[in-house]
Every structure is written in C-alpha cells, then in structure tokens.
Amino acid sequence: EVVVLEARDRVGGRVWSQELVPGDPRTVVERGAEFVLDGYDLMRALAGEFGLQLAEMAMSYYEREPRGGAATSPREMAQCAAVVAAAAASARPGTPLAEVVAAWPGSPAALAAYVSRIEVTHGVPATDLAAAAVTDVTGGFTRRPCWRVAGGNQLVARHLAGRLGTTVRLRSAVRLVEHDQDRVRLHTDDGEVSGDAVILAVPMAVLRALPFAPEVPRTYRSAWQRAGLAHNAKLHLPLTGPAAASAVQSVPDRFWTWTAADGSGQVQPVLHAFGGTAEGLAALGVADGPARWASRAAALRPELSADPSRAMLTTWNDDPWAGESYSALTVTVADGDDDLIAA
C-alpha cells in the first residue's frame, strides 16, 4: 500500500505543461523538463502504456546556430567539444572546466560558443563546473532528432497519478521525517502519516533543508551539501506569424532559443528560450520579470514575429519545492558522493 505526499497543488514537479495562450492548445509549452532524447527508454515505454504520442520536434536539441559573437559554426563547436572532452577525461578529479578548455588549439569563437552552451546546459559557470561533467557530451553537438509528449510532458505524471487515485495527496508538504528501525512517521501541516518506509523523491536543494529525527549520518549530509545547484530558467513568447523549426544560441547572453513542431506536425506559434548560470540569469533580469530577457530574445531572432509583451517566465531556484533547476557536477563534489547519495 502506497501513499504519495505531494507538496504542490499539482503532480509533475519540474515537469509542468501549460498553455501560453489560454484556450489555445497549439501553445502548450513546457515550463520545466522538455526534451525526450535517445535513450529515454522508460519514458517511451510509459508513454506507450498510456496511449500518449511522442511528437518529433523537427529541430535538433543537439545542434544550435551560435549568434552574438565572432563567427563560428556547429561543426567547429563539435570539434571543440571532442577535444575538450578528451582532455577532461584525463584531468585530475575536481579540475574545473575553465582549466581544461585551454587544450583547444582552434578558433576562439568556437571555444566561446562551446563554453557558453555548456554553462547554460549545466547552470553553473565553467570556473565551478567539474571537467568530468563534459566527458560524455561529444555526441551532443551533431544533429539528431528529439521529441516531446504530444499535448504536454506533464500528461505522463498525470497518468501515473491516475493509477494511484486517492492515495496521491496534494498540498501535503512534509515538514519532518521521524524514523527508527521499524517505522517512519512524516509530519505534515495536516497531521502525521506513518509507514514501514519512505522514499524521498525531492530535489537536492529541498533535501538539504529537510529535518530528520534522528539526523541522518554526517557523511550523507555532507555529500548533499557538496552537490552543485544549477541555476536555469525558461521563457516563452507567442509568435504572431509563421516560423520554421530552428535552434539559435546567444553566445554572450547565456541562453538559447528554439521553435519546434508539436503533435500536429506543424511548428508551434511559440519562441522558447532556456537560460543558465546565476550570473547569466541576473544579466537577463529574471528577478524583475520577463521583460529584459524577452526583449533580448526577440532581438536575437529578428526573423521571427515574437510578441515580448506576452512572454511567460519560469524560474526554479526561487521555487520553494525545487530550489534548483537540477543538480550539477561542480568542483566541490567529492569522489564517492554519487554512491552516498544513492544510498
């Protein structure tokens, strides 16, 4: 018997699908996790079980046109990625990416575009990101297809919750975890829930702050504290005219943009954007709303008829039930932390 305690008023967490223009299903956007890539076998299996379709997006998550800096190309960036990944593989543990990129002997423009993209993806600057984080990304710079769930990725979470019915309790934030050898007791605002065991499926930033009685061993707590917290945000702008599928990266402004097809097979009337690093998001003014970023996104894509006045901004680091976009492999992470976190 299972009870699911969900702090939010919806299921899905950092998977959140919503209509950008209310009432227009062609404008369903992903305010959180979006791309379904090669190797997402469980995701595909669940979608099939639920009768959901995966829509090919007609653009490529892997290949993006760099703009805003000196001229370079996706091919040069892919070459740079391969060289840096090889150097990172032999670097000592804890070496920052900023130190390893010096191995690239080629175009400075390609390196700038590569570093910008890596920082956006991981949500931390190259001075903090461990070089080991980029040892397996050489395949991430050549064009391959990508997908999303037609109608919204959150449909998967909703179907999973539907299987469980009333055992899923919304608005039930856990404030304290009490445990011993036999039982666990979870304290919520509405009372207590007890059971034989508890699985804590929460972001690292939330786990760090969650009280336990008795306290978890210090070795575990220390590993949680060393985990890097990524800073990322998303922006969506309605389009007032037609668009082709595309992916364009702003090298200096630490964000990238895309237009993509949905379940209809047609390109959505939406410009999507994803930005990263605390410094990058501060420069985009996200703490004050979407206006500055929307203006820069529209300027980056003058070939599109975007409407910055109706932009939707989604941030995660200031969300009380997230505290981060995801965790990052930073220079503070120690060998063996993955095993401690898994335990």
128-142 tens-digit pLDDT: 999 999 987 645 888
pLDDT for 327: 93
pLDDT for 342: 82
Residue type, 256: W
What average pLDDT score do residues 299-308 get?
97
Rounded mean pLDDT of the chain? 95
1: its two tokens: 């018997």
Peptide bond into 22 cis (omega under 30): no
pLDDT for 135: 86
Say whether pLDDT at 296 is over 80. Answer: yes
C-alpha–C-alpha distance, residues 14 and 32, integer Å: 5
Choose among 219, 204, 228: nearest CA to 96.
228
Instruction: For residue 18, list its beta bridge partners.
Output: 29
Say whether pLDDT at 89 is over 70. Answer: yes
Say whether pLDDT at 295 is over 90. Answer: yes
The answer for residues whose C-beta is within 8 angstroms of residue 229's C-beta and 6 or more apart is 123, 204, 205, 317, 323, 324, 327, 328
pLDDT for 180: 94
The answer to whether 206 and 322 have CB atoms below 8 angstroms apart is yes
How many CB atoms neighbour CB 202 within 10 A?
Answer: 17
Helix (H, G, I), strand (E, B) or coil at 340: helix
Tens digit of each residue's pLDDT (9 = 90 or more) over 231-288: 999 999 999 999 999 999 999 999 999 999 999 999 999 999 999 999 999 999 999 9
What average pLDDT score do residues 100-110 get?
95
pLDDT for 137: 63
Tens digit of each residue's pLDDT (9 = 90 or more) over 44-70: 999 999 999 999 999 999 999 999 989
pTM of the model: 0.95
